[in-house]
Structure 1
Amino acid sequence: MESPATNTDHARTREANQAHPERHHEQRSDRSKGATERPGYGQLLRTEGAWSFLLPGFLARQPYAMLTISIVLLVEHTTGSFGLAGAVSATAGIAMAVIAPQSGRLADRFGQGAVLFPQVFLHALTIAALIAVAVLDAPLWALFVAAVPAGATAPQISPMVRARWAARLQGTPLMTTAAAFESVTDEFTFVVGPVLATALCTGVHPAAGLVAEAAVSLVGGLVFAAQRRTQPASARAGGAGGKEAPVHGADGGTASALAVPGARVLVAAVLGIGMVFGGMQVSLTAFTESIGRPGINGVMYGAFAAGNMLAAVAVGAIRWKRGPQTRLLAAYPALVLAAALVAVAAQLGPWAVLLGALGTLAGLCVAPCMITCFTLIETLVPAGARTEAFTWLTGAVALGQAAGSTVAGQLADHSGAGAGFFAPLAGTGLALLVLLAFRGALHPPHGSLVAARGLGHRTTVPVD
């Protein structure tokens, strides 16, 4: 039974609707539009200022996928050893993964442009030094010494692009679409970059891959850094009244993004995903060589990568009703199951078609996990630590790749070509245990949610 006051309100509403029918129609249209609007890629790419950082960002991130393969090809040419070339390349990759979060932290504190401008010049100099050491037949220890700064100074463009998306889209459904778009772009980069580097090293000069890597890093990095209008406000500016607040530790100093427990859980999850990438690359190479068909290695890994890209496109196009925490806890077990199927199939016999199909399935399961991890970390860490947080995840992928390729290679050498596929299974299995044990850390610690009301408009909604 309604109160007299309520009946009076209903009467007033009916009178207003009768007096202004066009206004009533507009209100109903707006609600209908809001209910049916989907956070698709078209809407994402129409975000104000997006193209100003997407195009230079796409160019500037290509060297990230060219660096390690270019080092392998140059060092193998000058030393004649793939083993030594791989070790030097891994040294650069580990240095990149360890130092990247620190450069991200500096970018959060001082601004992306302030970090990128000196970083790209320093990277070009360290690449030149590595080329000189390799070409001039310097002692082997010099190669490892030169590889450390070459990897450590590599610009982290992908996390910076993700941080720009997060700054513009925080709290909107488009954040998942942006994460999916970036995953597709990264996957495409890792398809094009190695092919370009290999063509330059084999067709022009063994050092041409690294020369191109340094040149594109310099030009692309400078153009990207010049787009200051779209970069997130630095923590220093936030402290002076800007929007981005710095992250403080218990002692009052600036804390790392890893101070957030959920961020550490996501790093473990992404490490497992990295082991899938590294383990699949080495294991497929060993498998195809063992069956006498090394030429299909590219096709089989391409099927895995295609599955990853297709799933990433689909994840970004869907308007999810479940939260990212639920999606991750549902998607990761599927990834572990797919890795288990691939490992078992590799033991059954030289069935390349079956293994290729299951590899595609594994790729389909990778993208939802990866995208959700990047979506989640944006909700867990403070705004002033976004770039650092994203670089921890990309660094974890690199470390996982190095670990996965190393473990898979050792298993393939000592237990047969098919044994290498147990490396992705082990990595994802351990990561799943961490996710399940610490799943409570995946929820934001504050007591409010952010509800989207159009791009650039966010309202804090209290939660009972």
Structure 2
Amino acid sequence: MASTVTSEPSANAPAPSRPGYGQLLRTRGAWTFLLPGFAARQPFAMLTVSIVLLVRHTTGSYASAGAAAAVTGVSMALFAPYSGRLADRHGQRAVLIPGVVAHALSGLALTALALSHAPLWALLAAAVPTGASIPQIGPMVRARWAVKLQDSPLMSTAAAFESVTDELTFVVGPLLATALCTAVDPAAGLVTEASLTLLGGLLFAARRSTQPSVGAVGGHARVEHASALRIPGVRVLIVAFLGIGSVFGGMQVSLAAFTESIGEPGLNGVLYGTFAAGNMLSGLVCGAVAWKAAPRLRLLVGYAALALTASGLWSAHSVPVLAGLGLLVGMCIAPALITGYTLVEELVPAGARTEAFTWLTGAVALGQAAAVTIAGQLEDRFWGGAGFLVPMGGTLLALATLLALRSHLAARPRSRTVARGVGHRVPVTVD
């Protein structure tokens, strides 16, 4: 039988009192990566909307616009975990600097091709590096929180705070992209996105003191780099996040089609911002609550509510009804996202968490890409609002998977460990 000797809590982690945002934001060194991280992740919220609006303007087809956005999302989903694994092995800075430069150049190339009315295959070819090089700022910020807090009860609060931050970007991003594309120029959204990615990413990469140590836990012991995908619970969470991505993608295309059909394209950003605002508000509440229910139960209940509300979107035929339903759907997404990221901290070893976070982020992007493609086809071929069937189908399929495989989401007992050094938790099995 293994025995346990534990170290003192990390010097970086706050005292284990009731979790709260005030206590979280007083964590030493937190603001040095939070502010540049917020600036660096803002452009990602603009990307899909900017591509859809630009390509729709230059080709006249939602199907073509959806295909270009989908290729971008698929490329991100495929390359994001690899980027996360490289960050775990070589450090975030080594991955970020070349990544943001490549993304800015690729985004500008895609813009130039669209404006020159290049064939669809050329747009899709340019979309591949644009998506593959999207900087994974959110997972990197979450990895920094995991190092700062370690086993602190504030980890759940940090997950909620990051979800709220993500959704704040998705309130501002679509509004900014829509305003730029409709009031300035159809290409202004992508040009701004590329510029902000470069500037914000370089500022975040400059904060070297807060990035996780390369291949170490607590800054000392080297860890084996096993893929996070080997953990069954991570694979189940990927399916859940694919369903969440289907909501984002389906709504982006369908809201754009709906607002254009009523002659008010500028309302697209407002409606999508309302959806994201619901997500942000419920995320704030989730982070402020001291939950007694297990994360697995919270995920199942929250996801059931998401599937139920998303199933009603296709029946909305007016702006007020659609705004109200979108608000409810957004309010149901945050609990699922927050709990999923919280479960990663319980299921995944520290040395693979950046990769695990990027698998989930990539799953959202992949689900969004598939949803954009399918919703675009439905909007072009069938009735207005048919694209809203995509969020319903995606969330119902994911909910069925969660219910069938829920046993994989139970956190395993932590290894019995002895610490080496003062103020650091270094897992060493004792027989």
Give the TM-score range, shorter chain: 0.7 to 0.9
Shift of 1:393: 0.9
* Change in 2 beyond 3 A, CA 1:55/1:39: same
CA–CA separation in structure 1 for the residues paired with 2:60 and 2:371 = 24
Correspondence for 1:169 among 149, 154, 158: 149
* One-letter amino acid of the counterpart of residue 89, structure 1: A
Q: Distance in 2 between matches of 1:379 and 1:186?
A: 21
Higher RCO by CA contacts (8 Å cutoff, separation 6 or greater): 2
Contact 2:50 2:181 (C-alpha < 8 Å) held by counterparts: yes
Please tell me whether residue 245 in structure 1 is matched to residue 216 in structure 2: no
Aligned to 2:6: none
1:96-147: CA deviations, max 9, x gaps?
1211111111001111011112222222332343344344554543222222
Task: State the partner residue of 1:312.
Answer: 283
The alpha carbon displacement at 1:153 in A equals: 1.0
Contact 1:101 1:395 in 2 (8 A): yes
Query: Cα distance, 1:281 vs. partner?
Result: 3.2
Question: 1:300-449, aligned counterparts within 5 Å?
Answer: 300-343=271-314, 345-346=315-316, 350=317, 352-447=319-414
> Does the residue aligned with 1:311 lie in a helix, a strand or coil?
helix
TM-score normalised according to structure 1 size: 0.79
Matches within 5 A, 1:210-249: 210-235=190-215, 237=216, 242-243=220-221, 245-248=223-226
User: What is the number of equivalent residue pairs in this alignment?
Assistant: 409
CA distance in 2, matches of 1:90, 1:399: 8
- Equivalent residue for 1:190? 170
Contact 2:77 2:361 in 1 (8 A): yes
Kindly tell me: are residues 352 and 116 of structure 1, through their superposed partners in 2, closer, same or farther at Cα, counting changes over 3 Å? closer
Q: RMSD across aligned C-alpha pairs, in angstroms?
A: 3.0
Compute the displacement of 1:340 (Å).
3.1
Q: 1:81/1:342 Cα in 2 relative to 1: closer, same or farther (>3 Å)? A: closer
Q: CA separation in 2, counterparts of 1:394 and 1:131?
A: 25
Structure 1's unaligned 5+ residue stretches are 1-33, 249-255, 451-455
Find the aligned partners of 2:54 and 2:69 in 1 and give their Cα distance: 10
Are 2:174 and 2:273, in contact at CA under 8 Å, matched by a contact in 1?
no
Alignment match, 2:87: 107
Letter in 2 for 1:63: P
SS, match of residue 171 in structure 1: coil
Structure that is richer in helix per residue: 1
Distance 1:298 1:136, change over 3 A: closer
- The CA distance in 2 between the partners of 1:423 and 1:102, in whole Å, is 28
CA-to-aligned-CA distance 1:393-441 (integer Å, 9 cap, x gap): 1111111122223333444455533543332222111111111111111
Unaligned 5+ residue runs, structure 2? 1-14, 418-422
Q: What is the CA-CA distance between 1:161 and the residue it aligns to?
A: 0.6
Q: What letter matches 1:261 in structure 2?
A: P
- Report the CA distance shift for 1:221/1:300 in structure 2 as closer, same or farther (over 3 A): closer
Is 1:96–1:395's contact at 8 Å kept on the other side of the alignment? Answer: yes
Contact kept? 1:411, 1:419, Cα under 8 Å: yes
Q: Is the 8 Å Cα contact of residues 156 and 287 (structure 2) preserved in structure 1?
A: yes
- Structure 1 residues 295 and 170: alpha-carbon distance in aligned structure 2, compared to 1, 3 A threshold: same
User: 1:318-376: per-residue Cα shift (whole Å, max 9, x none)?
Assistant: 01112211211222222222223445x54xxx455444333322222111111101111
AA partner of residue 331 (structure 1): G
Structure 2 vs 1, CA of residues 48 and 147 (structure 1 numbering), >3 Å: closer, same or farther? Answer: same
Larger radius of gyration: 1
| Residues 243 and 55 (structure 1), Cα distance of their counterparts in 2 relative to 1, 3 Å cut | farther
CA contact (8 A) 1:304 1:360 kept: yes
Distance 1:370 1:436, change over 3 A: same
Aligned to 1:281: 252
Worse-superposed segment, 69-78 or 44-53: 69-78
Instruction: Please state whether the residue corresponding to 2:300 is helix, strand or coil.
Output: helix
Where does residue 179 of structure 1 map in the other structure? 159
Separation of aligned partners in 1, 2:208 and 2:24: 20
Query: Judging changes above 3 Å, is the alpha-carbon distance between structure 1 residues 244 and 291 closer, same or farther for their aligned structure 2 residues?
Result: farther
Post-superposition Cα deviations, 1:260-293, rounded to whole Å, max 9, x if no partner, equal: 1000000101111111222233344455566777
Deviations along 1:30-75, whole A, 9 cap, x unmatched? xxxx89x421111111011100000110111112122233334444
**1:247–1:382 contact (8 Å) kept in structure 2:** no
Deviation digits for residues 11-38 of structure 1, max 9, x if unmatched?
A: xxxxxxxxxxxxxxxxxxxxxxx89x42
CA 1:115–1:140 in 2, change beyond 3 Å: closer, same or farther? Answer: same
Code of the residue aligned with 2:69 in structure 1: it is S
Alpha-carbon distance, 1:385 to partner: 1.0
Q: 1:40 aligns with which of 20, 31, 46?
A: 20
After superposition, the Cα gap between the structure-2 partners of 1:199 and 1:40, relative to the gap in structure 1 and judged at 3 Å, is: same
SS across alignment from 2:293: coil
